[in-house]
Chains A and B, each alone.
Chain A
């Protein structure tokens, strides 16, 4: 009940994500995630770092129950997600935007159609099929595409875009949901260094502008330190560092990734 207590000055409850003792076991007795708890609120951006195979993707997919957590509780803006199913779960998922490593666009649909995919949770299947979206959605999509520099590509098919442009479309799709939390799963891993920086800038900027808490899985520690206000280091399924990027030392990185030769 304490969760609902935070309220922004304009009366809207602050958007937040909160994990309590999250555990995920794919095979019983072998937890991938053991006892993960943290909370993110407002427009703060959090980077989750850790070695490959340590369950970062699992963690992010547990939040919207694409993967069912074994135990623990997850709250999005105060609403518990873990016990939901069916229609309730679908409605809860609308509040959780997700950006993917390989963009996960529908290649054969246009940029506009892909962006409007973010509204599918709000529009009936029949209206979606006939492309009868509310005018407000369309206007918002145009505005969003303009703000990310894709206004000239509205009717182009997604597979004609470059990697960076595709990821922008993926981000626009997530923002269209008007989410209460934005999850990004290795959003820059398929991109070149310059584009990676641009995408990180865009994510952080949109998170701040729309006041959406941002959680980014990322294996590039330098990018994480540069763009986020908080770093959570995970190793072998537990949080081993949680704090500001400035305090993340080589000692911490040794604990997170193991070994030290690579740090020289």
Chain B
């Protein structure tokens, strides 16, 4: 037995020194950043007090201006619905063109660049750009969210297509099917479920983002929200926030139902 212990094998696992170094650097940087940004326990405790005052002013909620509230909510929903519809519509061909397993590189390269451009800015930045370009109002918000949708669904859709089995594609090409038929019969059935999932998720995201684009003047309830903030109208603010929560929960419920239909 003792003899057996002396056998020297090579090490069974390789030590990843670069990985250990990376973790160490990340922890050190985190500590440094906390220190540099003056994040401290004391400030957190003081902040809690302010928060309590702020929350206190929110109740009771003020629903007296409900007509304005409902009108804004409807505009928000309209922005989200229109932006989602066009975003999904455009991201279908873009995503298809970006799929490297079906398309030659001279097609995927521009499509992937376009998707990357759509993803490179936060919606707020897009919203500012479009407000400057087309003026205040819902159109700017719609354009913003269309681009955000293409950036998100386009990329996910391309990835979904890249993961499909190419066996049926091969079979249909061998049968002499035209390209469009190959897409309709061999590709779409494999990705349809996931695509509906992405789309409904993006609709959720658009709904939340459409409450935000109003802050920079691109339509929807965000403008009213921001105004309420600035006027210290905290009871009305609370009413807006509760309405947004209700709206998002409602849409979650609906999209859940839609997904179940397509299972």
Contact = CB atoms under 8 A, between A and B. Distances in A.
Interface of A: 64, 66, 90-94, 96-98, 100, 102-109, 113, 117-118, 120-121, 123-125, 128-129, 170, 173-174, 177
A106 B168 contact: yes
Q: Which one of A92, A102, A104, A108 has the greatest number of beta carbons of chain B within 10 Å?
A: A104
A94 B180 contact: no
A107 B187 CA distance: 11
A94 B176 contact: yes
Interface in B36-78: none
Contact of B174 (A66, A106, A125): A66
A177 B13 CA distance: 56
Contacts of B168: 104-107
A109 to B, nearest CB: 5
A123 B185 CA distance: 13
A64 B178 CA distance: 15
A102 B166 CA distance: 12
B189 A120 contact: no
B177 A117 contact: yes
A64 B170 CA distance: 11
16 contacts: A90-B177, A93-B174, A93-B175, A94-B176, A98-B174, A104-B171, A107-B190, A108-B192, A109-B189, A113-B185, A117-B175, A120-B176, A120-B181, A123-B181, A128-B185, A177-B176
Contact of B180 (A98, A103, A125): A125
A173 B167 CA distance: 14
Nearest to B189: A108
Interface residues of B, number: 21
A108 B167 CA distance: 13
Contact of B185 (A92, A117, A177): A117
Nearest to A121: B176
A120 B172 contact: yes
Contacts of B165: 107
B186 interface: yes
Interface in B153-205: 165, 167-168, 170-178, 180-182, 184-186, 189-190, 192
B176 A106 contact: no
Interface of B: 165, 167-168, 170-178, 180-182, 184-186, 189-190, 192
Contact of A90 (B171, B178, B186): B178
A173 B175 contact: yes
B82 to A, nearest CB: 26
Nearest to A87: B178
Given A96-B174, A108-B192, A118-B175, 5 more contacts: A100-B170, A107-B165, A117-B185, A120-B178, A128-B181
B175 A104 contact: no
B116 to A, nearest CB: 30
B178 A100 contact: no
A93 B171 contact: no
Given A93-B176, A120-B178, A106 B170 contact: no
Contacts of A113: 185
A92 B165 CA distance: 25
Q: Which one of A64, A93, A105, A125 has the greatest number of beta carbons of chain B within 10 Å?
A: A125
B176 A91 contact: yes
A128 B175 contact: no
Contacts of A117: 171-172, 175, 177, 185
A140 to B, nearest CB: 15
B167 to A, nearest CB: 4
A177 B175 contact: yes
Contacts of A97: 175
A192 B186 CA distance: 27
Q: Which one of B165, B167, B177, B178 has the greatest number of beta carbons of chain A within 10 Å?
A: B177
A93 B173 contact: yes
A96 B249 CA distance: 55
A121 B185 contact: no
